[in-house]
Structure 1
Amino acid sequence: MEKFKTVLNVANKQGSFGFGVVALLTAGGEQIFSSVAFRCPCNQLNFLYGLVFLLVPALALLLLGIILSKRTWKLVTGLCRRRSKKTLVSACNALFYICATALVAPTSWIAVALLGGNYYECAMTGANVSAYSLHVCQGKMSREQCEQEMFRLPCERGAEQSGKEEVLRTIRAHSQILGWFLIAAIMLSNLLLICVARCASPISYQQLRFWRVYTEEENDLMDSYTSKHAKQLAERNLESFFKQTPPEDVVIPSSKDWEKISALYRFRTKDQYYSTLHQHVERDQEAGGGVPLNLVRSAGSTGSAEAPAVLNFVDGGLMSPQGQ
């Protein structure tokens, strides 16, 4: 799971190239999984068995992509306490982007599986759909033979009965056609989403690139600073406990400050803040006295009077900032 999370982080940072890497890794995993684990039962379980192998791993990859995304937990944490209509609309927009990003791996799995044809072939030879069975068997097998032996065809591949082999080739051709249609639909929809988002962008291409780089750097440094200060606080507490000495004052942000920089954010061309952290620092500096911080044992700070707006994520060309 940790390796999959690393791959997702690389994909988010590298944009379209990173998503291509995820798709290739998923395709390779599907090929290995198909050759090692998949064995069509060639009985009445064909349809369920093939459908499970085709769709359930894709669902698992989708859920895994959502769970391992930092954006998911940034969106969900505290959402129940923010019940305004504006917050709900913004949360839906953010959720759409999260799901769109997480769909790369599952759609790659389904597309590659359809191109291979094994899962679809197994499922459709067990489908209780007489019209489809008669269609693929027409001119190759008799109706009675088709209805009685259809589910055994995947296990008889390579047999001398040319009619059965032709039926399997027809089913596999249908699977590959669906696979190519799915790939074309994914690429076309992705291109349209990127074009619409870029056309609606109130900022230039170079500023968008700067914003993306800034966001990546801030996230990396946030992880580093969080680890460093958490370690400092833990060492202070342990030293005070074991040595039985008064604890030293450690300066950390208050809960209110943490809440502000954790909120979702919408870019505004008027202010040109590039994140909630950027906005919080600049506004508190303008209010006078710099960023209000607190000692560990002190009460909450005053903070900024205006709550941050909602973030439209800068990533993969799907950014749609709104100016004011």
Structure 2
Amino acid sequence: MEKFKKILDIATQQDRLGFGAVALVTAGGEQIFSSAIFSCPCNELNFLYGLVFLLVPALALLLLGYILSKKTWKTLTGVCQHRAGWCLHWRRLIVVCTALFQVSNTALVAPASWIAVALINGKYYECAMTGTNVSVYNKLLCGDKDSGVRCQRELYRLPCGTGSSVPQADRQDVLLTLKAQSQILGWLLVAAVMLSSLLLTCVARCTSPISYLQLRFWRAYATEENNLLDSYTTQHAKQLAERNIKSFFNKTPPENIITPSNNDWEKVSTLYRFSTTDNYYSTLHRAVEDWQEADNGMMRLASVKTQEPSDHTPAVLSFVDEGRV
């Protein structure tokens, strides 16, 4: 779990190299899994057994990707406590859907890698398809050989190579056909994922409201802010806990430690809403500037703030709310 969290953290804070790391780790895990654990039963459970090994680990990786994503919980925490009709507000609904779409882009890397590598390997597909009860497919698979009838009747035994009266040459032909089908599907999936990723990246960059260098600066700022926020939050919580413990055991009045209010936490915990009229780089940046503006009692001149910031967060700025898992 800890190793997967570290890899996912790289993927959420770095560029496409992080996604490559996730794919490589998942591919290595699949190879170990298929060689050490998987064993086709060669009976009527072939189809279910092969399908479970192909899809269930991918589903588990997908759910784990959602669970370990900071943006998932940043989007969902407190949603049910908002005023009535919050979820029906179309602008806010777009924000939530956009955030979940961005989370899915990261969460889908590991399951897609698992399915692609498993299909290229061919073991799961081979086991599953020899357990199908579709007579047309089984007949097509066994062909017009003399052993065709026996092949269809004993198809589920072919992956194990024992307990079957089908000639070895015919058995190898069927298994090679299944492996070829599996590998074709695997490479098609790899091509589809790569192409869709390229298209989404191109669309995001072409519609980016900011320049390339500002985007690099913004990404660096978001990373540093999250690191410092985690460190300072831990430090401040430790100071507050020490004060309370000292006051409890020594029976002395507690020292005055300023802690953000519920409203302050709410402001910095919401998803970042980008607007080209602002010079804000995060919700924390916006909150600090707003507090400074309130203290001065006048509007800021350096950074003009709109009265109703845009509820749109471009995909190119998805890193702002990622932070650490």
Shorter-chain TM-score above 0.5? yes
Aligned length: 306
Structure 2: give runs of 5+ residues left out of the alignment.
298-304, 321-325
Residue identity matched to 1:163: D
Deviates more, 1:60-69 or 1:280-289: 280-289
The aligned residue for residue 117 of structure 1 is: 122
1:151 correspondence with 2:156: yes
Residue identity matched to 1:51: L
Which among 263, 280, 295 is matched to residue 256 of structure 1?
263
Which among 283, 291, 294 is matched to residue 287 of structure 1?
294
The CA distance in 2 between the partners of 1:162 and 1:146, in whole Å, is 12
Residue identity matched to 2:131: G
The aligned residue for residue 12 of structure 2 is: 12
The CA distance in 2 between the partners of 1:252 and 1:197, in whole Å, is 38
The aligned residue for residue 30 of structure 1 is: 30
The aligned residue for residue 301 of structure 1 is: none
The aligned residue for residue 79 of structure 2 is: 79
Q: Which has the higher contact order (CA 8 A, sep 6+)?
A: 2
Residues 305 and 165 of structure 1: is their aligned pair in 2 closer, same or farther, counting only changes over 3 Å?
A: closer
Alpha-carbon distance, 1:11 to partner:
1.4
Residue identity matched to 1:40: C
**What do residues 94-120 of structure 1 show as CA deviations (whole Å, max 9, x unaligned)?**
001111110000000000000000000
1:129 correspondence with 2:130: no
Residues 284 and 140 of structure 1: is their aligned pair in 2 closer, same or farther, counting only changes over 3 Å?
A: farther
Residues 140 and 24 of structure 1: is their aligned pair in 2 closer, same or farther, counting only changes over 3 Å?
A: farther
1:263-282 aligned at under 5 Å gives the runs 263-282=270-289
Deviates more, 1:53-62 or 1:269-278: 269-278
The aligned residue for residue 247 of structure 1 is: 254
| Contact 1:51–1:123 (8 Å) recurs in 2 | yes
Q: TM-score, normalised by structure 1?
A: 0.89
Alpha-carbon distance, 1:81 to partner:
3.2
SS of the residue 1:154 aligns to: coil
The CA distance in 2 between the partners of 1:61 and 1:32, in whole Å, is 16
The CA distance in 1 between the partners of 2:74 and 2:221, in whole Å, is 18
The aligned residue for residue 239 of structure 2 is: 232
SS of the residue 1:20 aligns to: helix
Residue identity matched to 2:254: P
Residue identity matched to 1:133: N
The CA distance in 2 between the partners of 1:247 and 1:308, in whole Å, is 40
Structure 1: give runs of 5+ residues left out of the alignment.
291-303
Alpha-carbon distance, 1:250 to partner:
0.3
Residue identity matched to 1:90: V
**What do residues 201-232 of structure 1 show as CA deviations (whole Å, max 9, x unaligned)?**
11111111111111111111110010000000
The aligned residue for residue 300 of structure 1 is: none
The aligned residue for residue 43 of structure 1 is: 43
Q: CA RMSD in A?
A: 2.3
Residues 53 and 212 of structure 1: is their aligned pair in 2 closer, same or farther, counting only changes over 3 Å?
A: same
The CA distance in 1 between the partners of 2:269 and 2:154, in whole Å, is 60
1:64-213 aligned at under 5 Å gives the runs 64-82=64-82, 83=86, 84-140=89-145, 142-156=147-161, 161-213=168-220
Alpha-carbon distance, 1:80 to partner:
2.1
Q: TM-score, normalised by structure 2?
A: 0.89
Deviates more, 1:126-135 or 1:168-177: 126-135
Percent of pairs with identical residues:
61
Residues 314 and 210 of structure 1: is their aligned pair in 2 closer, same or farther, counting only changes over 3 Å?
A: farther
Residues 309 and 264 of structure 1: is their aligned pair in 2 closer, same or farther, counting only changes over 3 Å?
A: farther
Residue identity matched to 1:312: T
Residues 30 and 170 of structure 1: is their aligned pair in 2 closer, same or farther, counting only changes over 3 Å?
A: same
Alpha-carbon distance, 1:142 to partner:
3.5
| Contact 1:125–1:153 (8 Å) recurs in 2 | yes
| Contact 1:313–1:319 (8 Å) recurs in 2 | no
Residues 289 and 255 of structure 1: is their aligned pair in 2 closer, same or farther, counting only changes over 3 Å?
A: farther
Residues 288 and 156 of structure 1: is their aligned pair in 2 closer, same or farther, counting only changes over 3 Å?
A: same
**What do residues 71-107 of structure 1 show as CA deviations (whole Å, max 9, x unaligned)?**
1111110122341332111001100111111000000
The CA distance in 1 between the partners of 2:13 and 2:215, in whole Å, is 14
